[in-house]
Structure 1
Amino acid sequence: MNSQIQIDVVNACLLAGVLALSINLLLGYTRHISVAHAAFAGVGSYAATWISIHQGLPFLTCVAIGTGLALVSGLLVGLPSLGLADEFLILLTLCTGALFTGVVTSAPDLGGAYGLLGIEQVTVAGSTLLRPSDWLPYLILAFGCVLAVCWYLTRSPYGRRLRAVGDEPTAASALGMPVQLLRLQVFALAAGLAGFAGAISAYYNQVTSPAMWSFNQTLLIIIMVIVGGSGTLAGPCLGAVVITVLPRALQFAGMPPDRAGIYSQIIFAVLLIGMILVRPGGLIGRRPGSRIVSNVFAAAGTGSGLSRSAPRARALEVRAEGLTKHFGGVAALDGVTIVLPRQQISALVGPNGAGKTTLFNALTGFLPVEGGRVFIGDTDVTMKSPAYRARLGLVRSFQDVRSFATMSPLDSVTVAVPARRGSDLTSGLLRPRATRRGERSSREAARYWLEYVGVDADDLRPTGDLSFAEQKLVALARTLASGAEVLLLDEPLSGVDGRWVETIMDLLERLREDGHTICIVEHSLHVVSRLATQVFFMEAGALTATGTVEELLGRPEFVDSYFGAAS
């Protein structure tokens, strides 16, 4: 076999690897699906080609412009996609890809269906890159640069936040993370990296055409990631090699190119279905990776956080005035006014459907209200996001835990520590020492809170593999690590056995002693009697009774409503 043909296959794998790594930031970390990824690569390819032909600018300049235009295109598509459900995001990006194909096919200046030819040859140090072997070292360099960028993004504190957003965006928002901003950044960055690959591909192939960046190409890129293993770095690279080499291997075996293409598509389909059914994590599965992050971004040998005492929470007041919310004409909240007693444990009780979780959602910003106001201290937060309220100290937990299932307990709690150096897109690169200090401090705080709740901070199992009670404890630890001073806990004791119930109740009493304000949704009268100094009874979206447990039990109407509903 001709050595140049072999090197050409290697070069094709390198370019495919860049595309796979870029879309892996979406699929593997923020868990977004874009079916316009090849179109973004096409933007970079067509931009670099057109500028080279018509403006005669140097290679690196054309590649930079193509990359930038692809990034901007990703930003423009990503903005309207914020908040969209996955199925609508797929539709939006599908239309984006179709629009790109339609424009480049119908525009005469872009070569129509045949594409653009005549891009300038690349010359380096007086030598023109003509053969695949000439290109090989520079494609290795380009691939290495993209791999380094992805390595930094995924192994840094910023990458940990991306993984949290992908695992459970609602919980991430409840902890104060700017979920939509993170998703937009990664969407645009992935598009820019795809444009980078597309621009280089145009110079390497000396042509760009609609067929090179069609919907089918996007599907191949997605298959590379799924087969290799999303959420890893080696996985997409391995998938790129498999998907790139297979059709060429069939041709090398003597199969005609047209038949090789057909059989390749059949094999890809079977391979994809088989991987989803047999090994959904891909050939290279994802691991929690706590030790990797800590070794790289934090100094070794950090001690136990329990050498310090628990921080004393401020007496932060949370109150709501006249909250109203309707669902289909039914009042879920009917003029609710409530003030949570500071540095005490209160309980919100009532029958199912009374509006307890709805009230928690309204207080924390997950549900917009139709009337009324919410205050944290003296700040009116009625129109503010859950992340904003979390940064002020109001955080809620969820009845169904919503753990960061692919992350270790230590990472799950570290990611909740308020943003420090390295948790945004650029500071880790610009200020590495500050990032390492911030990471060390964050991990010390995370270790403290994990040991506070009784969970092993060195357990490298994914949090999703822990018992339900342990997941609840990790969720409580991450809530505390976020700096929360007011905790809204939705049935923190549901689904756990008696031993864990006592453990969690002891923890809640300890938190009250440390100055935290806590409000729990709870159905067990035993738990409410032991923990709560004040009880709010809800029925049909309204607060109908307030007082101590003893006071409410002395009111026949409360007993009839509560125990009648419970029966």
Structure 2
Amino acid sequence: MDYWIDIFNVVLIFSIFTISLNLLIGYAGQVSVAHAAFGAIGGYAAAYLQANAGFSFWPGLAAGTFGAGLIGLLMSLPALRLRPEYLVLLTIAVSAIVLAIVGAVAELGGAYGITASRPADLWPIPGGPLLFPIQWTLPLIGFAAPTFFVCWRMGQSAWGRVLRGIRDDEVATRALGHNVYIFKVIVFSVTSAFAGLAGVLLFFYNQIVSPSVYGLDVSLKIFAMTIFGGLGNFVGSILGTAVVQLLQPILENVVKLEPGNAFLIQLVIYGIGLAILVRVRPQGLLPEGVSLLPARAAERVAPPSVRSAAATKAVNIGTSRPSQLQPPTGAGPILEVRGLSKQFGGIVACRDLSLDLETGKIAALVGPNGAGKTTVFNLLTGAFGADSGSIKLNGEELCGLGPDAVARKGMARTFQDVRLFARMSALENVMLAMRGIEGGSGGEKLSDLFLHPRRAARAERSERDGAMEHLRLVGLADVAGTAAGALSYGQQKLVSFARLMATDADVLLLDEPASGVDARWVDKLLELVVYARDRGKTICIVEHSLHVVEQLADTVFFMELGHITAKGTIRELTSDPRLAEVYFGTV
């Protein structure tokens, strides 16, 4: 019986590894194969302090957990600016460095490691020294359960929604005003601390630390358990851990194979199982959003607030054609661009560009392909840094700010290729743009999440209700619970517009809103753009369709080779023979 209890205890310890790694990979999309290395930092810290400073269980646990989290924080500062493939290589290097250090330093026991001087004692919790596996079971459950709760709470919240946005499309997440770097640093630090916690528990449970206990093969095993169980599903992490950990004991004790043969057959089954899983069920045993409880799974697909609103009709935005609606009187320029220039090597993408966007008006940016229209949007929103020039929004300089900061200042954009978060529902896509709710937290503060849960819940309800209003506005309340990737292209364009409106930005930049959309959706989009203008939004569109430009634009800027060469109404520009030859006559 002790044998199986021991296996169960090991499953609990490695579940802490896999649950925390799943938060990092499954939610944030940051691939790390150094989880065991952070466990080594925690385990060796606790072992060294016990052997040399007489630390007992709790101080050693705190030191090891905090130490691993701190190292994770320091490592993440430069690492998370790397592309994903380089992050993988860096975590492999970190794992190798940690193992090399602990194996070479005599004070850390070298290749043999450090043996515990005394068993763990959880005083003031009664029970005395933990000498047998059965004594460890409840304490390990006591550590695994809070790990599950904290990671689940972070993942299934507005904070976790930002992580999933980063995973699916970091550029789009930044464009909605989220500082993705801060989110990545925090999640990397937190998950490193949990890995350190698991490493400390592994030391006290085994009564020894050594390089082999936390080797790269162990990191790969933890990684495989996480993938096998299902990314984005913490119950799947526990299931994957149990399946992998139980395989060899079952072969030895149930099938009655010799240990050597059991080990080899385990590797064969393990390899075949992973190959089949990748082929047949790449999302793992329990994919994201799937629960072992049917009612819970159904709720995730269509939350109550969505189901109750599904039959609600779209908000009436008027039946008048856009050309029949009159724009409001402007109040001067809200956006002033002067001398904007950008060069990529020998290619001049933007040259001494200047323009004004009038408050409450619609402007259009047109020109032949390669003129630099999308580059201008990238410069205005901070996706590209300008070589020179000035961008002022409400008199405040934006040059030098990143896309998230520009969005928070009040200028947001859509993308030509939509860039919705395909694995998230239409409702979640719009909710991700809701900011400034409940005193500025938007439900995305960890302090509110754990210290003020009612405030966080209130913010979540406000965000959900606000997002539903935007979906009703575009007529898509009935697909609020549908994954964005499963919607038609026209519906995706509408969700993209709803998401843009949810940012509550003063200036809206629309990159080819009508491209690739049939006439039915185009008319709807035109009505929505005018609706936004009539509510005080300043809008600039990049569009090739003369019909759309004629219907919407009060002012049209014509671009050639990164420079604005003409400005006026669409009729004035189309009557210019030179411009007609350059562009309009070829459309």
Which residue number corresponds to residue 514 of structure 2?
Answer: 493
Which SS does the other structure have where 1:426 is aligned?
helix
Once the two structures are superposed, the pairs formed by residues 120-519 of structure 1 within 5 Å of their partners are 120-124=118-122, 125-252=126-253, 253-287=255-289, 291=299, 317-419=334-436, 420=441, 422-456=443-477, 459-519=480-540
Which SS does the other structure have where 1:411 is aligned?
helix
Which SS does the other structure have where 1:340 is aligned?
strand
Which SS does the other structure have where 1:127 is aligned?
coil
Q: Distance in 2 between matches of 1:300 and 1:555?
A: 54
CA RMSD of the aligned region, Å? 2.5
Counterpart code for 2:402: S
Which SS does the other structure have where 2:471 is aligned?
helix
Which residue number corresponds to residue 111 of structure 1?
Answer: 109
Shift of 1:256: 3.5
Q: Note if contact 2:434-2:442 (Cα within 8 Å) is conserved in structure 1.
A: no
TM-score for both structures, normalised by structure 1 = 0.94
| Offset from partner CA, 1:123-152 (integer Å, 9 cap, x none) | 242522111111011111111010111111
Which SS does the other structure have where 1:322 is aligned?
strand
Counterpart code for 2:462: S
Shift of 1:277: 2.0
| Offset from partner CA, 1:384-426 (integer Å, 9 cap, x none) | 1111111111001111111111211111111211142531222
- Corresponding residue to 2:86 among 80, 85, 88: 88
Q: Note if contact 2:374-2:511 (Cα within 8 Å) is conserved in structure 1.
A: yes
Which residue number corresponds to residue 21 of structure 1?
Answer: 19
Counterpart code for 2:392: F
| Offset from partner CA, 1:279-314 (integer Å, 9 cap, x none) | 121111123979459979x9998998989999x999
Q: Distance in 2 between matches of 1:122 and 1:482?
A: 52
Once the two structures are superposed, the pairs formed by residues 547-558 of structure 1 within 5 Å of their partners are 547-558=568-579
Which SS does the other structure have where 1:523 is aligned?
coil
| Offset from partner CA, 1:8-60 (integer Å, 9 cap, x none) | 11111111111100110111111010111110111011111111111112211
| Offset from partner CA, 1:265-287 (integer Å, 9 cap, x none) | 33333322322222121111123
Which residue number corresponds to residue 534 of structure 1?
Answer: 555
Which SS does the other structure have where 1:538 is aligned?
strand
Which SS does the other structure have where 2:351 is aligned?
strand
Which SS does the other structure have where 1:317 is aligned?
strand
Distance 1:148 1:309, change over 3 A: farther
Which SS does the other structure have where 1:478 is aligned?
helix
Count of residues in Structure 1 that have an aligned counterpart in Structure 2? 562
- Which ranges in structure 1 are unaligned for 5 or more consecutive residues? none
Q: Distance in 1 between matches of 2:130 and 2:273?
A: 36
TM-score for both structures, normalised by structure 2 = 0.91
Counterpart code for 2:182: L
Q: Distance in 1 between matches of 2:508 and 2:143?
A: 48
Paired-residue identity, % = 39
Q: Distance in 1 between matches of 2:46 and 2:180?
A: 33
Counterpart code for 2:280: V
| Runs ≥4 residues deviating over 4 A | 288-296, 298-310, 312-316
Which SS does the other structure have where 2:416 is aligned?
coil
Task: Identify the range of structure 1 (119-128 vs 536-545) with the bigger mean alpha-carbon deviation.
Answer: 119-128
Shift of 1:504: 0.8
Verify: 1:77 aligned to 2:114, yes or no.
Answer: no
Q: Distance in 2 between matches of 1:527 and 1:229?
A: 45
Counterpart code for 1:260: A
Task: Identify the range of structure 1 (345-354 vs 248-257) with the bigger mean alpha-carbon deviation.
Answer: 248-257
Which SS does the other structure have where 1:337 is aligned?
strand
Shift of 1:261: 3.0
| Offset from partner CA, 1:432-484 (integer Å, 9 cap, x none) | 22112212221121111111111126632211111111111111111111111
Counterpart code for 2:278: I
Task: Identify the range of structure 1 (319-328 vs 388-397) with the bigger mean alpha-carbon deviation.
Answer: 319-328
Q: Distance in 1 between matches of 2:374 and 2:117?
A: 61
Q: Distance in 1 between matches of 2:564 and 2:261?
A: 71
Verify: 1:49 aligned to 2:70, yes or no.
Answer: no
Distance 1:380 1:293, change over 3 A: farther
Shift of 1:88: 1.1
Shift of 1:118: 2.4
Shift of 1:204: 0.4
Which SS does the other structure have where 1:366 is aligned?
coil
Q: Note if contact 1:401-1:472 (Cα within 8 Å) is conserved in structure 2.
A: yes
Q: Distance in 1 between matches of 2:378 and 2:91?
A: 31
Q: Note if contact 2:66-2:193 (Cα within 8 Å) is conserved in structure 1.
A: yes
Q: Distance in 1 between matches of 2:101 and 2:218?
A: 17
Q: Note if contact 2:435-2:442 (Cα within 8 Å) is conserved in structure 1.
A: no
Q: Distance in 2 between matches of 1:492 and 1:299?
A: 26
Distance 1:292 1:52, change over 3 A: farther
Q: Note if contact 1:33-1:89 (Cα within 8 Å) is conserved in structure 2.
A: yes
Verify: 1:38 aligned to 2:36, yes or no.
Answer: yes
Q: Distance in 1 between matches of 2:393 and 2:450?
A: 35
Q: Note if contact 2:315-2:473 (Cα within 8 Å) is conserved in structure 1.
A: no
Which residue number corresponds to residue 325 of structure 2?
Answer: none
Q: Distance in 2 between matches of 1:491 and 1:138?
A: 58
Q: Distance in 1 between matches of 2:330 and 2:303?
A: 34
Q: Note if contact 2:352-2:563 (Cα within 8 Å) is conserved in structure 1.
A: yes
